[in-house]
């Protein structure tokens, strides 16, 4: 009994130390910068944590995260919290799939992701972007992490729910993954090769995340809604693609009651210029005054030019898939964030002002992207190859993980590219999952990392879903399934 207790404490100590080490690796950019990284949107999220007043082009749920900094009077709480959540989720994923008893493998994975991907730069920001990858990885662990005890997967449900609710793109991607996993579950009834996801954990997590968005808005405003700016964002993208002007050229000569008819020759060339620059959008009422007209133009454009709209959506999706660089718009924020910093966290002002991000010229990401972008591109191609290998070897865990990651990449590119506006940061925030999933699948090809280890006193054996290791017939998780080779 004493020996078993000592062994248990030994391994728990190693696990805690390894999670702390990976957390520090993920905090590397913030520590090097001297302060958490801030983006243009960070100002709104920090302000909402104090005012709890809605901003029409933001959802309020990330305020649930930024409010954590208020009792401590420092924004450092945000990246520390995000790094801890990500380190923990990575630990659970590695435990579930390859290395329950090997903390050094988890540490190696954390080091690989910290050096070869932009994940630490996403974690270090006061932004919801980190939770996009956490959502996808969390759904994969809940669906295919059968080696984790049920109670540990249940503990992850609120974490995944929080990750989903902090941004509308996460809600859309997670909802799409549920449909894909449901289809896989149905297909698994007819094919032994098809992974069978555990929807009993996935469904409550996604339902929680989706439900938190309108619930948070209802508590703050008395109205439950998801987003008040979706149609305006779509109009801006149509302006960028030329579809809005094409539609206005079609309907304005006939006397369409649209305010943009008078300014259709003055529309800017990009969605960002239309929304944030000195464009006619601001003159005609901005986010509030243009909502009804935006909805009418978007609906009319899709109805009048369905093929052109579909072609533009496909093109934007493919463009978004290619945009994976780190550091987009992480420019000096002395002119933008400074008022919020002084008003909300004055004790941090000196650290903010002298951070690397605010120095002349800002942070140069060119060399970093010259290394990391080719690695990410290679990892995405390798994911497709290893998906075929895992399917052939009937490794349902690797097949499920790779399928979730690949589908999530496509779904994120569609939601962010075709329905919003292609930007590097949208795909960069999740592309690290390609290297992670490929590493997991590659390690699983070596049976030494997934073979069962004799359980010591007080330990439960992990569930291994790797058929090449099963040398004796055993009960499968579906009726009538027999020994597979």
Give me the DSSP letters along 184-246.
HHHHHTT-SSS----HHHHHHHHHHHHHHHHHHHHHHHS---S-S-HHHHHHHHHHHHTHHHH
Other beta carbons within 10 Å of 230:
16
CB 188 within 8 Å of CB 480: no
Residue 485: per-residue pLDDT: 32
| Residue 39: pLDDT over 70 | yes
Q: What is the DSSP letter of 287?
A: H
Q: What is the mean pLDDT of residues 371-377?
A: 97
Residue length, the chain? Answer: 485
Residue 457: per-residue pLDDT: 43
What is the distance between the alpha carbons of residues 431 and 119, in angstroms, rounded to a whole number? 9
| Residue 366: pLDDT over 50 | yes
Residue 5: per-residue pLDDT: 60
The residues facing 265 across adjacent strands are: none
The residues facing 125 across adjacent strands are: 37
CB 351 within 8 Å of CB 34: yes
pLDDT band at 481 (very low <50, low <70, confident <90, very high): very low
| Residue 231: pLDDT over 50 | yes
CB 15 within 8 Å of CB 103: yes
For residue 115, with 0-12 CB atoms within 10 Å meaning exposed, 13-18 middle and 19 or more buried, which class applies?
Answer: middle
Q: What is the pLDDT of residues 189-202, one digit of tens each?
A: 998 889 999 999 99
Closest by CA position to 84, among listed 164, 29, 27: 27
What is the distance between the alpha carbons of residues 369 and 185, in angstroms, rounded to a whole number? 38
Measured between alpha carbons, how far apart are the two ends of the chain, in Å? Answer: 39
| Residue 11: pLDDT over 70 | no
| Residue 468: pLDDT over 70 | no
What pTM was computed for the model? 0.89
Q: Which tokens belong to 15?
A: 């696990």
- Residues ≥6 apart with Cβ < 8 Å to 353: 334, 338
3-state secondary structure of 474: coil
- Torsion sign (Cα): 21, 25, 31, 37: negative
- Residues ≥6 apart with Cβ < 8 Å to 310: none
Residue with tokens 């949107």: 41
Residue with tokens 């090449």: 468
pLDDT band at 27 (very low <50, low <70, confident <90, very high): very high
Stretch (H or E) spanning 291: helix 291-304
- Mean pLDDT computed over every residue of the chain: 89
Q: Which tokens belong to 432?
A: 């690290």
Instruction: Write a three-state SS string for 299-368.
Output: HHHHHHCHHHHHHHHHHHHHHHHHCCCCCCCCCCCCCCCHHHHHHHCHHHHHHHHCCHHHCCCCCCCHHH
Residue 176: per-residue pLDDT: 97
Instruction: Write a three-state SS string for 5-64.
Output: HHHHHHHHHHHHHHHHHHHHHHCHHHHHHCCCECCCCHHHHHHHHHHCCCCCCCCHHHHH
Q: What is the pLDDT of residues 62-89, one digit of tens each?
A: 999 999 999 999 999 999 999 999 999 9
Instruction: Write a three-state SS string for 420-433.
Output: CCCCHHHHHHHHHH
Q: What is the mean pLDDT of residues 207-233?
A: 90
Closest by CA position to 451, among listed 467, 475, 437, 436: 467
Q: What proportion of the chain, given as a percentage, has pLDDT over 90?
A: 71
Residue 157: per-residue pLDDT: 97
CA 246 to each of CA 261, 412, 421, 452, 470: distance values in angstroms, whole numbers, following the listed order: 11, 27, 19, 63, 62
């Amino acid at each position: 009994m004493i020996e078993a207790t000592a062994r248990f404490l030994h391994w728990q100590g190693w696990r805690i130390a390894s999670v702390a080490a990976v957390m520090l690796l993920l905090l590397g950019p913030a520590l090097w910068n001297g302060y958490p990284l801030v983006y243009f949107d960070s100002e709104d999220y920090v302000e909402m944590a104090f005012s709890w007043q809605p901003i029409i082009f933001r959802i309020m749920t990330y305020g649930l995260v930024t409010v954590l900094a208020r009792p401590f009077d420092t924004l450092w709480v945000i990246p520390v919290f995000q790094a801890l959540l990500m380190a923990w989720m990575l630990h659970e994923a590695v435990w579930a799939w390859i290395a329950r008893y090997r903390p050094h493998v988890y540490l190696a994975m954390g080091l690989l992701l910290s050096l070869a991907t932009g994940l630490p730069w996403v974690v270090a920001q006061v932004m919801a972007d980190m939770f996009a990858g956490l959502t996808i990885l969390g759904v994969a662990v809940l669906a295919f992490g059968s080696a984790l005890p049920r109670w540990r997967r249940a503990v992850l449900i609120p974490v995944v729910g929080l990750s989903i609710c902090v941004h509308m793109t996460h809600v859309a991607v997670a909802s799409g993954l549920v449909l894909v996993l449901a289809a896989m579950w149905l297909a698994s009834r007819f094919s032994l090769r098809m992974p069978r996801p555990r929807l009993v954990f996935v469904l409550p997590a996604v339902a929680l995340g989706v439900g938190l968005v309108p619930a948070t808005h209802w508590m703050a405003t008395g109205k439950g809604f998801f987003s008040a700016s979706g149609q305006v964002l779509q109009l801006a993208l149509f302006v960028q693609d030329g579809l809005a002007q094409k539609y206005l050229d079609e309907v304005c000569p006939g006397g369409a009651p649209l305010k943009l008819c008078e300014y259709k020759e003055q529309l800017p060339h990009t969605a960002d210029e239309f929304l944030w620059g000195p464009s006619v959008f601001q003159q005609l009422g901005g986010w509030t005054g243009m909502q009804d007209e935006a909805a009418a133009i978007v609906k009319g454009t899709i109805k009048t030019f369905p093929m052109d709209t579909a072609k533009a959506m496909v093109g934007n999706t493919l463009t978004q898939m290619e945009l994976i660089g780190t550091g987009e718009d992480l420019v000096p924020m002395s002119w933008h964030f400074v008022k919020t910093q002084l008003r909300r966290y004055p004790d941090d002002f000196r650290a903010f002002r002298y951070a690397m991000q605010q120095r002349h010229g800002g942070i140069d990401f060119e060399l970093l992207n010259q290394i990391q972008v080719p690695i990410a591109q290679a990892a995405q191609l390798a994911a497709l190859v290893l998906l075929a290998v895992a399917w052939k070897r009937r490794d349902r865990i690797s097949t499920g993980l790779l399928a979730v990651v690949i589908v999530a990449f496509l779904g994120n590119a569609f939601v962010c590219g075709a329905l919003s506006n292609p930007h590097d940061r949208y795909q960069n925030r999740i592309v690290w999952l390609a290297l992670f999933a490929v590493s997991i699948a590659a390690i699983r090809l070596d049976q030494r990392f997934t073979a069962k280890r004799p359980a010591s006193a007080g330990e439960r054996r992990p569930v291994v879903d790797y058929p090449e290791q099963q040398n004796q017939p055993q009960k499968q998780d579906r009726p009538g399934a027999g020994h597979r080779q």
